[in-house]
Chains A and B, each alone.
Chain A
Amino acid sequence: MTWPESPLGGRLGDGRFAIATDRPETVDALRQAVVARVGEGLALYPQGGATALDYGGVPRAPGIALDTRSLNQVIDYPAADMTITVEAGITLGMLRSVLAAEKQRVQLDAPHPDRATLGGVFATNTRGPRSFGLGRPRDQVIGVSFVTSEGNLVKGGGRVVKNVAGYDFPRLLTGSMGTLGILTQLTLKVRPIPESSALVWVPFTSLDSAAPALDRLNISATRPVAVELLNRLGSRLAGEALGLPIEDWTLVAGFEDNTESVEWQVNRLMIELGRTNIVIREGTSSDPLWSALTELQAAEVGPLSFVANLRPSSVVSFVKEVDSSRWALQAHAGNGIVRGHATGTSELEGFAPDVARLRALAVRDGGNLILSRCPTEAKAELGVWGEPRADWNIAERIKKTLDPAGVLNPGRFVGTI
């Protein structure tokens, strides 16, 4: 089998084209497509809204795209139980509007919500600013169904909020990059939409003055749901269009709760930080900034983007080592996640040494540094998934167990997966 040279069959990312795109409208049709295509010797590349097509390693074997967007039904929404069961092809935006009718929401932040599918958000473990206070995707899911490369429909978890029967497929599939199964259905915890929301934008002229504020926030009397740190380039990308003041560094704290609590927290934070030159975006006027902070991770301002995972206390020393004149930085500082976007030039050479140096720092801290965007030709050399981890050998064995033929998203994930 050879790679098609024309994009007519669909795109797989990294400049690779699909032999065809299947768009099954039912789970049974999906299972049949899987069995048929694997029988033809083809690899399977599940897709949702195609918002992260270039994420991960380069597709290794010719195959077909499996477009899951027709699997987009709400299966069961017992609002009073605070759970919802939906098919994986529903977009995050559509899911939000279904929930909003009952004054509820799902605690997920992801860029391009009108295109991004729930299956894609979970397969890629996409998280945003609110994951500090509200949890990551792994904390929202209580049940999954997926189709294996052998065409079996498998489920784990269930539809009730507490359930310890069987192995935890919801966690295993979250962040598995479509390499273990094709997500068809998810059951999520939902929560009431909070009465009030506020973002506090605190500019700093230096990192040294911002650092104590971060330490302070960790033990603040307030309970922020988001703690973000931006450098000047990051601040500009997130805040300039919204008329926010741009300094060398910005700390953004987000609060969500009932009205009394949010008001108290905003006031309290000003006292704790001893600052008055801050900007507060409250209520619906906070929406565009929440959105900008979420979209920032998908910024395409240069050839390369990284995500480092660190201990939160190491964020400041880490970003100090990054050249802020060339990298736009956004840290979910409370979680130790630092996102960097190379800016200004399409030349890769200048940035590659930074990757190696910063990755070593992250690894020394017990974390890692992956490349969320990288030119296809540089992926193998720069290593998109970071420094290999010892537990990848278990990951490879799990992959062999669930996808013995190795046909699901080959080449995309860690190690030989």
Chain B
Amino acid sequence: MNQGGSGRVSGRVGGTEGGLLFYLSFDTDLQVGSENHTPMSVASTPSLSSRIVSELTAIVGAENVLHQRDELVVYECDGYVIEKSVPDVVVFPTSTEQVVGVVKLCERHQLPFVPRGAGTSLAGGTLAVGGGVMLCLTRMKRILEINTRDRYAIVEPGVVNLWLTRALAGTGFHYAPDPSSQSACTIGGNVATNSGGPHTLKYGVTVNHVRGVELVLPDGSVVQAGGVTEDNPGYDLAGLIVGHEGTFGVATKVTVGLTRDPEAGRTLLGVFESVDAATETVSGIIAAGIVPAALEMLDNLMIQAVEKAFHFGFPTEAGAVLIIEVDGLDAGLDREAQAIAEIVRTHGGSVSKSISWRTRKEPEYVAIWKSRKSAFGAIGRLSPTFCTQDGVVPRTKLPHILRHITRVGERHGLRIANVFHAGDGNIHPILLFDERDPDQVKRVLVASHEILEECIAVGGSVTGEHGIGVEKMEFMPQLFTPEDLATMVALRNMFNPTGRCSPDKMLPGGAGCIERKSPGHRASA
């Protein structure tokens, strides 16, 4: 590991012990090419003046402001628990106008601000770096329009992903992106991180299903990007905004595309003695020209956790299981399912369950996906704390990266469970640890780095769906050249010239950081 990386790791550990010490000691100017940005620090703003709190109260109402320390602690982190930073105030705007008001107030008082949905980010995407104002969008939760004839819905950002699915039940349409956290995560958050989920293999990720975004820029102006119709003349701003991780502004309305429900599906549970056999099967299915709707893998540790929690009937002695789903028109599915079963057997596996379904509500179907999507929760039975990683490799490199993960776990004396989107090559190793033991925390961070660096080395990415957040900024120079990053910084500065909107996220700071090279660095070709 290079020098800069080590510095970040030890800084992180300090961060878990001392709140924002890490950021205070990290003197980088994030704003490459920007003159007037000074990194904020909690030390300099222990609390906002009561005047600002009362101004915010005037905008959103007293019931939509939190400013007492004990109330704010809840918002000190999101699903990424390794770094913490308490915002100075949390507001819950209920309209675009209120968001504009809050943002303009932040502009006037030069306060940093950060949008937040349900806080399910696993990369610290909603961490209030430097304190300031957190705009919690969970009270902008209306579904404004559903139009199945024109296949779109317009929602406010705080609408929970699953609410939209529920609202569409019975219409014959659905909103395709279904992250595992869909019962909690919001559409606004999905837009910020370009979320995926188990069904992206066939149906694509969030950006493929977003047509329009209303975005409040950091200067308080409101942009209507895209709209209900396709191909509006101009740049694909909606496409650019998806995945901005809150660094362009605050999304206040989203127009999503709707997808026809499949007529039917077949969901198979393939059981394997080893992870290797399961990953080879994944390659076999793809090579046979089959594009499953989902292709998910759980390894032995994960199977045991899930089985203890949900008693679905996973074979606890298996080395790995694959959930393989094909959907579409019933007429064509039996042959596809048979072909898949044959590939499973060819690789030494067996099909222990084969669910033939017409709707996604059938009990056995619901049970298998509940087990899969609640897998992270089940981990609590194995370990008090865990760190979920998010890496991507070319599908054919899955056997390699999983062997690598096993070796990394052995080397650092860590238990690592795996549950992931095998069909996309999107791995989610879950590193188990006890956060009270600083040495374990340190080993987890080093192990995470070794896994992600190998993802880069084989041509992949350090995030498939969780985002860069604060967690992975240091990897950006390994994925991108200084020219790539300078272009991204220039775009960010165009939308967010003072850098006060989601400060210190996604794009790494100072030139020293950008210039460093690692052994995993890949040329742009």
* Residue B512, interface by CB 8 Å: no
Q: Interface stretch among A35-43, A168-176, A273-281?
A: A168-176
Given A163-B392, A391-B224, A398-B491, the answer on whether A174 and B283 have CB atoms closer than 8 Å is: no
- Minimum CB–CB distance for B478 against chain A, Å: 10
Contact B149 A264 (CB under 8 A): no
Q: A79 to B289, alpha carbons, bound, how many Å? A: 10
B463 — which chain A residues lie within 8 A by C-beta?
Answer: 163-165
Contact A165 B230 (CB under 8 A): no
Contact B421 A264 (CB under 8 A): no
Q: Give the interface residue-count category, chain A.
A: 35 or more
Residue in A155, A337, A389 whose CB lies within 8 Å of B480? A155
Contact B332 A165 (CB under 8 A): no
Contact B230 A167 (CB under 8 A): no
- Minimum CB–CB distance for A263 against chain B, Å: 8
- Minimum CB–CB distance for A338 against chain B, Å: 11
* Residue A392, interface by CB 8 Å: yes
Given A155-B524, A260-B332, the answer on whether A395 and B479 have CB atoms closer than 8 Å is: no
Contact A168 B194 (CB under 8 A): yes
A261 — which chain B residues lie within 8 A by C-beta?
Answer: 328-329, 331-332
B150 — which chain A residues lie within 8 A by C-beta?
Answer: 311-313, 336
Contact A167 B235 (CB under 8 A): no
Contact B424 A161 (CB under 8 A): yes
Given A159-B394, A258-B336, the answer on whether A153 and B524 have CB atoms closer than 8 Å is: yes
Contact A160 B461 (CB under 8 A): yes
CB-contacts of B480-497 with A (<8 A): 480-481, 483-484, 486-488, 490-494
Contact B194 A164 (CB under 8 A): yes
Contact B233 A385 (CB under 8 A): yes
Interface membership of chain B positions 182-215, coded 1 if the CB is closer than 8 angstroms to chain A and 0 otherwise: 0000000000011010001100110110000000
Interface membership of chain A positions 305-318, coded 1 if the CB is closer than 8 angstroms to chain B and 0 otherwise: 00101111100000
Q: Interface stretch among B5-13, B237-245, B306-314, B348-356?
A: B237-245
* Residue A1, interface by CB 8 Å: no
Contact B291 A223 (CB under 8 A): no
* Residue A82, interface by CB 8 Å: yes
Given A162-B465, A261-B328, the answer on whether A312 and B236 have CB atoms closer than 8 Å is: no
B234 — which chain A residues lie within 8 A by C-beta?
Answer: 385, 389, 391-392, 395, 414
B393 — which chain A residues lie within 8 A by C-beta?
Answer: 160
CB-contacts of B507-525 with A (<8 A): 524-525
Interface membership of chain A positions 108-129, coded 1 if the CB is closer than 8 angstroms to chain B and 0 otherwise: 0000000000000000010100
Contact A168 B204 (CB under 8 A): no
Contact B525 A185 (CB under 8 A): yes
Contact B395 A82 (CB under 8 A): yes
Residue in A139, A161, A257 whose CB lies within 8 Å of B332? A257
- Minimum CB–CB distance for B493 against chain A, Å: 8
Contact B149 A395 (CB under 8 A): no
Q: A145 to B151, alpha carbons, bound, how many Å? A: 32
Q: A171 to B490, alpha carbons, bound, how many Å? A: 17
Interface membership of chain A positions 221-232, coded 1 if the CB is closer than 8 angstroms to chain B and 0 otherwise: 111000000000
* Residue B61, interface by CB 8 Å: no
Contact A136 B230 (CB under 8 A): yes
Residue in A136, A164, A335, A400 whose CB lies within 8 Å of B243? A164
* Residue B227, interface by CB 8 Å: yes
* Residue B335, interface by CB 8 Å: yes
Contact A167 B480 (CB under 8 A): no
Contact A309 B232 (CB under 8 A): yes
Given A148-B487, A171-B240, A389-B234, the answer on whether A162 and B149 have CB atoms closer than 8 Å is: no
Contact B465 A164 (CB under 8 A): yes
* Residue B409, interface by CB 8 Å: no
Residue in B230, B290, B394, B468 whose CB lies within 8 Å of A78? B394
* Residue A156, interface by CB 8 Å: yes
* Residue A60, interface by CB 8 Å: no
- Minimum CB–CB distance for A171 against chain B, Å: 3
Contact B479 A166 (CB under 8 A): yes
- Minimum CB–CB distance for A152 against chain B, Å: 4
* Residue B228, interface by CB 8 Å: yes
* Residue B229, interface by CB 8 Å: yes
Q: A169 to B240, alpha carbons, bound, how many Å? A: 7
* Residue A51, interface by CB 8 Å: no
Contact B232 A367 (CB under 8 A): yes
CB-contacts of B405-462 with A (<8 A): 421, 424-426, 459-462
Interface membership of chain A positions 49-63, coded 1 if the CB is closer than 8 angstroms to chain B and 0 otherwise: 000000000000000
Contact A165 B425 (CB under 8 A): no
Contact A336 B239 (CB under 8 A): no
Interface membership of chain A positions 125-162, coded 1 if the CB is closer than 8 angstroms to chain B and 0 otherwise: 10100000001101100000100100011111011111
Given A223-B329, A260-B335, the answer on whether A394 and B225 have CB atoms closer than 8 Å is: yes
* Residue A265, interface by CB 8 Å: yes
Q: A392 to B480, alpha carbons, bound, how many Å? A: 29
- Minimum CB–CB distance for B245 against chain A, Å: 8
A209 — which chain B residues lie within 8 A by C-beta?
Answer: none
A127 — which chain B residues lie within 8 A by C-beta?
Answer: 231
Residue in B227, B396, B459, B464 whose CB lies within 8 Å of A164? B464
Chain A contact residues, CB within 8 Å of chain B: 75, 78-83, 103, 125, 127, 135-136, 138-139, 145, 148, 152-156, 158-169, 171-172, 174-176, 180, 185, 191-193, 215, 218-219, 221-223, 257-261, 263-265, 307, 309-313, 335-337, 365-368, 370, 385-386, 389-392, 394-395, 397-398, 400-402, 414
In the complex, the 4 A-B pairs of residues with the closest C-beta atoms, listed nearest first = A171-B239, A261-B332, A192-B289, A264-B331
Given A138-B207, A145-B525, A402-B487, 5 extra CB contacts under 8 A? A160-B394, A162-B426, A221-B329, A366-B229, A368-B233
